[in-house]
Each structure stands twice: as C-alpha cells, then as structure tokens.
Amino acid sequence: MKKYFAVSVLAASIFAVTGCQEEKAETTAAAQVALETAEQQQAYAIGASVSRYIATTLEQQKELGLELDNALVLKGMEDGLGGEVSMSEEEIQSTLKALDEKLAGLVQAKAEADAAAAKAESEKFLADNAAREGVTVTESGLQFEVLSDAEGDKPSAADTVTVHYKGTLTDGTPFDSSYDRGEPATFPLNRVIPGWTEGVQLMSKGAKYKFFIPSELGYGESGAGSIPPNSVLVFEVELIDIEKADAPAEETPAS
C-alpha cells in the first residue's frame, strides 16, 4: 500500500507538469531526445512507462475526490534529488501513512456507495421483471421464464447435470457462456450458486429456461470477477443430461 501510493503520487506530479504542455511541445520534445545508447533508451523507457501509469492514477484519484498540489509534489521531488528535503524521514513516513489511510477510506466509501446503488437498481429490476407475463417467482425470490419445456425426470441437488448456458448482467453484458467455449458444462448441482441449484431442479432434460437470479442467490455483496456486487444474474440454461447420484448402499442386517 505505502509503496503503491507513494509511487502514484510521484507519477501524478510528473503527469501534472508534463500534461500542461500542448501536443506540439510533446512532439518537439520527443524529437529532441537522444536515444542512441542503451542507457539513454533505458532512462527514456522509465519515464515513458511511468507517464502511462500516471494518466490512470490521476483519473482514479479525481474520481475519489483527492487532489494534491502538484507544484508541491514536484518541489518535493526536486528537493529529494538535490538532497535538501524540508521534512524529516519520520515526518515523510507518517505523512505517507496518513495518505494511505485517507485513500483507503475513500476507496471503501466509493465501494459502499456503488454497492448500495447496484442493490437499489437490482431491486427495481426484479420488481419490474416479476410483473412481466410468463415470469414465475419462487419462494426464495428466484425468477424464471420457460423458453421451451420438456417432460420427464428432474434432477435433484445431489445429481450431476450437463448444460449449455449463457450468463449476462441485466444490461446484457456477458460474463460467461458455454456456447462461446463450444462445449457444454458438467457439474454436481449442489456445488454451484444457490440460484442454479434451485433453478435447474425445476427443469426436465431437454428444457430451456431463463433464470433471473437475485444477488442473494448469486454472488451477493462481494461479487465475483467481472460481476459487480449486488448484481442480478440472467442465465439462459438448456438442460442436456442428468446423471443421477449413486443411491446409498443398503445396510446388511447384522447376523
């Protein structure tokens, strides 16, 4: 944390100074740089690499509401290189620690605000979707729509199923698809998210359903990978096969 934020502040200051120049100035400067030796190329590569990192860092800091005095940051850099720093090492470390804590607090506050907004949006989506014709809501809150039905046995939670599926967020953003991978998925039904475990048990082999899974039956407040916290998951699922769990062996009566 400490090194990351110290570097981010340093990068931000460099970007703030160089970013004030026009594109013409940047082009001219690039043309004037001598990159003939390995050492010159290495030095220039360090600056170029840092500058690319800077743009992202500055944008993130602004989104969090943190703005530093870039002139003072640059002055600190110059003093550090010149060996005449106006703060003691102890003061520098305690200041950077306070900065780390401030940034961590801002990040946490933004995450909580984003999660609350996502929860409200998800609740509205589910309420609107539940009112659509053809959508059924179970006791747990799972919503489903029958795209094509079938007759026959349904799996239990202990069974292994083979399915084709496509998963998206409510805005249509895809996050997983067995169709894209070109082969169905096979897994024990009791080892997936609760919305899947419950929903697929409603299906017979050959059926295709569309599930709308509340976050409580999905990945909840933590999210997963590209799935944000408190997200409703939309899955189109085609049940291809059911492998029944082995029945428990009958006990042999004691002789």
Q: Which of 44, 53, 159, 193 is catalytic?
A: 193
Q: Which of 165, 209, 211, 212 is catalytic?
A: 165
For the question of residue 187 being annotated catalytic, the response is no
Contact 19, 57 (CB under 8 A): no
Q: Which of 125, 213, 219, 242 is catalytic?
A: 219
> Please, what is the Cα angle at 106 between 102 and 109, to 5 degrees?
135
Q: Which of 92, 159, 176, 240 is catalytic?
A: 176
**Residue for token digits 């943190």?**
66
Burial class (CB in 10 A: 0-12, 13-18, 19+), 211: buried
CA-nearest of 113, 99, 13, 17 to 63 is 113
For the question of residue 175 being annotated catalytic, the response is yes
Contact 230, 180 (CB under 8 A): no
For the question of residue 53 being annotated catalytic, the response is no
Write out the two tokens for 168: 């998206």
Looking at residue 157, what DSSP letter applies?
T
CA-nearest of 169, 159, 84 to 122 is 169
Cα gap 119→100, rounded to integer Å: 28
Contact 200, 155 (CB under 8 A): yes
Q: Which helix (H) or strand (E) holds 148?
A: strand 143-148
Q: Which of 53, 159, 175, 240 is catalytic?
A: 175
For the question of residue 14 being annotated catalytic, the response is no
Write out the two tokens for 177: 């698809």
Q: Which of 235, 241, 242, 246 is catalytic?
A: 235
Contact 163, 240 (CB under 8 A): yes
Active site residues per annotation: 165, 175-176, 193, 219, 235
